[in-house]
Amino acid sequence: MTLAEIASLVGGTLTGDPAHSVTGAEALLDASASDISFLADPRYVDQLAGTQAAAVLVGTDHPAPGPGDGPALLRVTDPSTAMTQAAAALASTARPPAVGVHPNAVVDPSATVAADVSVGPFCVVGPEAVLHAGVILHAGVIVGEGAQVGAGSELHPRVVLYPFVRIGEQCVLEAGVVLGSRGFGYDATPEGWQPVPQSGIVELGDRVDIGANCAVDCARIGATRMGDGVKLDNLVHVAHNVQIGDHSLVLGQVGIAGSAHLGKWVIVAGQVGINGHRTLGDGVQVGGGSRVFDDIPAGSEVFGVPAHEKKTAIRNLRVAPRLHEMRKHIRDLETRLAELEEQSR
């Protein structure tokens, strides 16, 4: 694309050669003479002098360039958003998979497969499974008996749907996702740990995105559910009977124990652990690395171990490096107080 075309795309003002072409988008220090880059954070302004980019997206208040052969500048209201637009326009896109069932796929005769579905090589579609219009199964996907995949959903390589899983419309499951594996439940007996039967299912609403290598367990009874618009990052574990409300975000390496309930628009940052049978109200935000041991009221912002009010938690963390010094000081004060009390007798 020419810089003039990019300027038109992002609604920017160009200082530079409008006919110059770029073929890619890169970070400032990684960019070559055929790339466009961006400066959204003033902390990185020094990198502008060292970039090889042909053009850089900057804010509207960025100062005029000095003399020299620096990169062309494209002034925009929001450089980060503009970079997303430009990168998407310049990105290479994979060819869409062919409609139809690949010769190496196995589809049970009792399965219902819409005419415009794409079933890739080495897929297995089980008895009574249902693939609605526009579904895409990439290579190696397994759809278990009675499972249902809603219209327009896309399952990337090696996704596994256990029997009777139900997926809504326009969902995206990245590679290695497993939905419906047996929930982790055991009873202690004289002979050892005996598994508790897990007879429930997993249900996803519409427009749910699940990142690579996530595991969502089937319910002990009923369903493990995610509402419309839920987004899971990579490597998230959702245990049996968990309920996640509409439009909630769960970031990487989070573990949610059995029967926990997350409301709508909840945000759970990376590496958080949530105890079983806890309830997080609508709009709750949990900071990274926290441990949730108690119910959290709607609208709360929490952090820490155990998770509690965020501002208090941060103040406590700032005090923590001085605890040893404070402990020594308190002991000194206790000694002096004891001496004064002895003298007053």
Residue of 240, 247, 261, 308 marked active site: 240
Task: Provide the token pair at 180.
Answer: 């419906």
- Indicate if 240 belongs to the active site: yes
Q: How far apart are CA 262 and CA 259, in angstroms?
A: 10
The residues near 99 (Cβ < 8 Å, ≥ 6 apart) are 115, 116, 117, 118
Q: What is the set of active-site residues? A: 240
